[in-house]
Structure 1
Amino acid sequence: MTASTLPQAGQRTTAPGLLPGAAGPGHPAYATAGRAPGRTRPRTDDRPGFWRAPFSGAAFREIGYTLTSLPVAIAGFTFAVTMSMLGAALVLTALGVPVLAAALAGARGLGSAERGRTRGLLGLDVGAPGPVPAPRTPGRWAALTARLGDTAGWKALLFHTVMFPWRVLSFVLSLTFLVTGWTVALLPAYSWVFPHYVGWPGYRLYDYTSGGVHHSFYLSSPFQIAGASALGLVIVFLTPALVRALTNVDRAAVRGLLGK
């Protein structure tokens, strides 16, 4: 290299193929050079795989969501139905408007809490709806009547009404699969208890007498216990997929009725 091509002290150099002053390899913008504007790297799916799902935090958070949804749904449904029916019964009187306005305000508050619960347990961040419509004239009565035009409040009221039966079903299915799967899968660990302390030859599936004939079936042999445990493991590994499908309905409902 000749003296004319050597960089002088304090002189900035550029990477080959870049114009002077362009971002070099050490510059943060160098990594995005040549990339089409407005495009970003696709995000990878951080959900656990099939074999890790039953032991992952994401699966337990989703199960926690479905289990806690039952008391939340009971409270929301009770509030929505009670206030709606009371407001409808009093709509021909001066008390109907304040009751319905309170119902819409309360439904908005419950919807905000539900968005926070969905964000924390399901990882779904849904933006809050727009503000309540401003009254056209000053005064408390105008503010109350303006709230009756709050579309977001009516949608939140609808959410707490229609989601109640779904969340009861989600609670029952999630709890049934969770308890049944682990109870049956761990049968080899506690099957010795039945002959030693209960007096059964094994885990009793049924034992009854009908028409003078005794019918019974116990899981007592190692082969039977192993087969039952394998069935329990199948349920354990299918439970996260079931709960994921159940919570997808909640995700769609939160987006459609509680978001912008």
Structure 2
Amino acid sequence: MVTWLRVGCAVIAICVVSLVMLPLQILCLRFDWKLRRYLPRYWHRIACYWLGVRVHVIGQPERSRPLMLAANHSSWLDILVLSSVVDVAFIAKSEVRDWPIFGQFAQWQKSVFIEREQKRKTGDQVNEIAERMANGEIMVLFPEGTTSDGNRLLEVKSSLFGAAAAALPKTPDAVVHVQPVAVAYTRIHGIAMGRYYRPIAAWPGDIELVPHLKDIVACGAIDVDVCFGEAVEYRADTKRKDVSATVARRIRNMLSSRLLGREIA
């Protein structure tokens, strides 16, 4: 009974906030007002509160621009968590557009959906990412290309950093900053989550979205650490695979440190 009451209250609260904020966001998108970049952060903070997701930030976002954040990816919760901390837009695979609930929200946040099977469209989308980064927007890339079980970083695909290279000609200093970010789900009801319970937060494989969402709301007490690492400078003579390897190493180190409850060196 208590569980369903919690779910009901969370759903009602998020729906009410959405009914108030979404019309304004849609209007901002229609006229491309800068407010569209900032409004989602407040919605995501409220959503995290009602879902019982407590976000702890370690470090800070790089202040230099253009900026791309490269983060590990284990759940749809990552979007809510990152958006509650920084004003960002996401680079997502095209399938995300068709997800129930979150696909529509991703469009309202002006995510860029990459059509990997259609090279011509991919080029247009990479150019859009480059333009938006050059205009000061922070773009988030999940370089694993899929979700993990939350206990490790999967292989990072260096090809996905092509958008950073495409932004170079549009920047005054000919440098794009790529900052590694680790998102670690660490505790449930204040107790260390461990590998066994981390699937409560993680969303790998073919797990259905709605039941997973219900389980998150029913749980109501998940702690997540968001760690910002040292940014990598991407220049014209930089090798994409070197950037990919450095970013992957830093994400992996931060993720392991938080999951093991250690301080980041």
Into which bin does the TM-score normalised by the smaller protein fall?
under 0.3
Greater relative contact order (Cα < 8 A, sep 6+): 2
The structure richer in helix per residue is 1
Alignment TM-score, normalising by the size of structure 1: 0.25
The structure richer in strand per residue is 2
Alignment TM-score, normalising by the size of structure 2: 0.25
